[in-house]
Amino acid sequence: SMAENDVLYVLTTPEFFTEGPCGRVGHAIGFMAGVVASGKGLTLLSGPGAEDFMDEPETVSFRLIRRGLSWWPRLLLSAMREVSRHRVVVVRWRPVLPFLLLPLLLLNRRFWFEVNSLTGLDSANPLARVLVRLSVWLTTRFFNVITVSEASMDRIRGLSKPCRTTHVMPNGFQPRWLAEFEPRSVPDVAPSLVYFGRKQPYYDWEMLYNSARQLIDEGVIAGVALFGFEEPSPHSSIKAHGEFDPGSLVRDLSAIPNPILIVHSSGSDMARATSPVKLFEYAALALPVVASCSMRRQASRLPAFRFYGAGCEQQFSSAVRDIASDYPLALQQAEESRRIALDHYTWHAVVRAWLSDAL
């Protein structure tokens, strides 16, 4: 029957969920949670392991396919059965898929590819590059397209003009633990810079450490706290605290007087095309943020963000000084960022915005 379910979500990498928590898993789980929170029925067609990451697996119908030699035939048969029973189909893009799935458009026209990165476009193999371009052309010609950022949509448009609907759906975030954090301003104490997340290569670590040393020496900041990785300290007041979980992070943040969060991404294309959940997690903490201008498009609606020219120590330092000179005022502005993040950038909100296009 048509009414069986609203959204069919298809992930065609057999080991998608079995290599532990990572960006792609967080994205898929968030998207599914957003569909369910919007009151829509969801079926997941994928390899095993998704339920291990879900808070409420019973809210989703699973069509899980065992890994093995007959993976593709079993997946395609299952997809053919399910596609006509759902109002909308979303498939995480891989170059081979538009060729394989084109016939399924006869069963359901509301078919979206979620293109998170154009794998293979820069391949050393010229044949692979041609096939990827052909695949992107098929994708834009016949299917609707979701991407995570404006920059990645621009990249697709640069290859081939989309003929059907496109939608930019940034990575959402789960607000649970963030919204409980109570920021506080401690008078007459120098603020500290705080970063949490992986030690990403497209961040300007050298620039950060140089600026921080100088700001510490001048007494503008008390130090830098890094959560999410360990490394030897480049300065006695710059400390990497290793792994964290949401609970421990809220405790540690509460113990740091006057935190200023930092997003020191470089000016690279890679940095500009990302959709860092960090921006919205930072905003939801209601703390002031200093961010590189390569994040400007993604964070344009958030008033707590002070932007500086990517890689420029001088601009970075002056943004930090600016906040340090009136921390209570910066906190007030950050309160508005929290409201915007919770209203527009949670998984529920970003998926709801897409559903109003899709259904």
Cα(274)–Cα(29) distance, integer angstroms = 18
173 bridge partner residues: 346
pLDDT score for 246: 76
CB 116 within 8 Å of CB 93: yes
3-class SS at 48?
Answer: coil
For 5-20, write each residue's pLDDT tens digit.
899 999 999 999 998 8
What is the mean pLDDT of the segment spanning 171-180? 85
pLDDT score for 4: 67
pLDDT score for 276: 74
168 bridge partner residues: 147
Output 197 or 82, whichever has higher pLDDT.
82
pLDDT score for 3: 47
For CA atoms 284, 286, 292, 293, give the dihedral sign.
positive
Question: Does the pLDDT value for residue 265 go beyond 60?
Answer: yes
Assign 248 a pLDDT band (cuts: 50, 70, 90). confident
pLDDT score for 1: 37
pLDDT score for 275: 66
Q: Output phi, psi for 52, to 5 deg.
A: -65, -25
H-run or E-run covering 330: helix 327-344
How long is the chain?
359
CA triple 83-88-94, angle to 5 deg: 75
What is the mean pLDDT of the segment spanning 74-82? 96
pLDDT score for 287: 95
What is the mean pLDDT of the segment spanning 238-253? 88
Cα(300)–Cα(296) distance, integer angstroms = 5
Cα(83)–Cα(77) distance, integer angstroms = 10
Cα(260)–Cα(222) distance, integer angstroms = 11
Judge residue 92's burial from the number of C-beta atoms within 10 Å of its C-beta, 0-12 exposed, 13-18 middle, 19 or more buried. buried
Question: What are the counts of helices (DSSP H) followed by strands (DSSP E) for the chain?
Answer: 12, 13
Q: What's the mean per-residue pLDDT of the chain?
A: 92
For 192-219, write each residue's pLDDT tens digit.
999 988 888 889 999 999 999 999 999 9
pLDDT score for 95: 94
As a dihedral over the C-alpha atoms of residue 271, residue 273, residue 277, residue 278, rounded to 10 degrees, the angle is 20
Question: Does the pLDDT value for residue 249 go beyond 70?
Answer: yes
Buried b (16+ CB within 10 A) or exposed e, 305-335: bbbbebbbbebbbebbeebbeebeebbebbe
pLDDT score for 317: 98
What is the mean pLDDT of the segment spanning 331-350? 94
